[in-house]
Amino acid sequence: MSHLTLPLNLLFLILTLYLSFTAGDLDFFTHSDYHADLIATNISIPRGLLIDEAGDILVLSRGASSIIALHQAQNDGSTYSQTLIVNGTGLGLNHGIEYRNQFLYASSGSTVYRWPYVPGQRSQIDNNLRETVISNISVPDENKVNTRTLIFDEDDLLYVTINSDIRLDNDSTRCRMRRFNLTGERDEGGIDFETGEIFADGLRNEVGLAFDCSGVMWGVENAGGADYLIRDDLGGWIHDYNPAEEINRFDKPVGTHYGYPYCFGSYNLSGYQVGMQFAWPTAMGDGIHSDEWCRTRANNEPATFFMPAHTAPLDIEFYCNACDDANLPKGAFPCSFRNAAVITFHGSMNISTPVGYMVALYPFDPTTRAPTGETITILEDMSQHTDALSKERRFRPVSAVFHGQGHLIVSADTTDQIIKVTYNKNKSGSGSGPRATFYTLILCMLHSFVFYA
């Protein structure tokens, strides 16, 4: 072999294959042991996900203000049909979705609605049957951070989050989780949000909520988008790697304050351990809030676990399926993952080096009831380390939910896609999806050319 120069015909073939494999495809890489299938590619800005009792996947479409049911059209596990369940035109449905006691719930920035629903019905609900459950939720002027996460506990109490409307708030008025009892009579206009019990306070952007396998509520907090963090006594500009994103455990007394906007936890700060509590510089001049104040748990409950800054966690889901390794459905996650949490990371927006853009599994220690510290990446954007794609085209996962068959369902809002992830340990290969297949093919072609040239 005298040289490795690629002939023009091979370069042309590679370019042709690249265009055919990449046009319109999602740019994610499935890590070893997992396989991913795209089961929907045309749902406008999919956000919240729900698996109903019949096994149908309900998707809240922010772009269409609607709820769509996905159900298997065939038994091949990859072909799904779509049915419009709720036409919410004009309602501004944008994120939250829940089901309880024959009712389907969904949220806009200002309101929580519900419709009568039978799991597996696969037919559109009459809009005249819509009820307003909660109203008067404050909507920020810029109308940006206006998602309202919904979750029910075992006593049928409904929890609704409200999130920061600016980069750094003056107080925690908009940074709370409220709890509602929906039994009994209520006005046609719904329950006033401000009358709900403050279940947890000081939560900047607690988008993801879930109960673990023991019935304890957890949340993931998007803390890193707050105002640029500068403290001269800590090195000046520390915003690139701080504050830490958080996993919070909500087993403390009702009304416990979790810090924001007075305190933050460090992630990468020279001379300090991860999670060390500090006061926000904007709060330090009031004569009350200081680093010492923030390190007093009576004032500020620190997170249970801290994650890299700016990764933007948006959902958490625990693997609580009944499990028997000898009789697992094909592609189900293994029983060793039971009690682990899956977290979606929407990805950074305002730092030079992109981070996040992935779905990862966090094993939990049964003794400490906290993450072990191990991170197992399942899906990851393929371009984040090279900045090859715009943020509008990157893989930006939002919600994740486990199907009864032990498969993981993920929504990605910037690419309008729903992904089914199955466990694939006994099969060779470390990636799936069109883009991974393309790279594998190109490597094989190059290897053949070099070997035979």
Does residue 125 sit within a domain? Answer: yes
- Tokens linked to 52: 């109903």
| 142 has a pLDDT exceeding 70 | no
Which tens digit of pLDDT belongs to each residue from 324-353?
Answer: 888 999 999 999 999 999 999 999 987 888
Give the domain CATH number at 400: 2.120.10.30
Does residue 194 sit within a domain? Answer: yes
Which tens digit of pLDDT belongs to each residue from 92-140?
Answer: 999 999 999 999 999 999 999 999 999 999 999 999 999 999 999 987 6
Does residue 138 sit within a domain? Answer: yes
Does residue 226 sit within a domain? Answer: yes
Q: pLDDT at position 387, please?
A: 53
Which tens digit of pLDDT belongs to each residue from 225-243?
Answer: 666 799 999 999 999 999 9
Host domain of residue 307:
38-423
Does residue 416 sit within a domain? Answer: yes
Which tens digit of pLDDT belongs to each residue from 368-407?
Answer: 889 999 999 999 997 655 554 555 568 999 999 999 999 9
| 20 has a pLDDT exceeding 70 | no
Least confident of 57-71, 170-184, 391-405: 391-405
Q: What is each CA distance from 415 to 34, 45, 256, 347, 397, in whole angstroms?
A: 21, 7, 38, 14, 9
Give the Cα separation of 63 and 393 in Å (integer): 16
**Entry pTM:** 0.88
Give the Cα separation of 296 and 298 in Å (integer): 5
Give the Cα separation of 398 and 406 in Å (integer): 19
Give the Cα separation of 395 and 380 in Å (integer): 7
Q: pLDDT at position 392, please?
A: 59
Least confident of 223-237, 247-261, 375-389, 424-438: 424-438
Q: pLDDT at position 16, please?
A: 40
Amino acid in position 121: Q
When pLDDT is cut at 50, 70 and 90, the band that residue 7 belongs to is low
Does residue 433 sit within a domain? Answer: no
| 438 has a pLDDT exceeding 80 | no
| 257 has a pLDDT exceeding 60 | yes
Does residue 3 sit within a domain? Answer: no
Q: pLDDT at position 390, please?
A: 57
Domain count, the chain: 1
When pLDDT is cut at 50, 70 and 90, the band that residue 428 belongs to is very low
Whole-number average pLDDT of the chain: 87
DSSP 410-421: EEETTTTEEEEE
**Which one has a higher pLDDT value, 66 or 392?**
66
Does residue 440 sit within a domain? Answer: no
**Which one has a higher pLDDT value, 94 or 170?**
94
Q: pLDDT at position 187, please?
A: 87
Q: pLDDT at position 73, please?
A: 82
Give the Cα separation of 52 and 58 in Å (integer): 7
Q: In degrees rounded to 5, what are phi and psi of residue 30?
A: -95, 120
**Which one has a higher pLDDT value, 374 or 452?**
374
- Residue 248, judged by CB atoms within 10 A of its CB (0-12, 13-18, 19+), counts as buried
Q: pLDDT at position 226, please?
A: 64
**Helix (H), strand (E) at residue 18:** helix 8-22
When pLDDT is cut at 50, 70 and 90, the band that residue 182 belongs to is very high
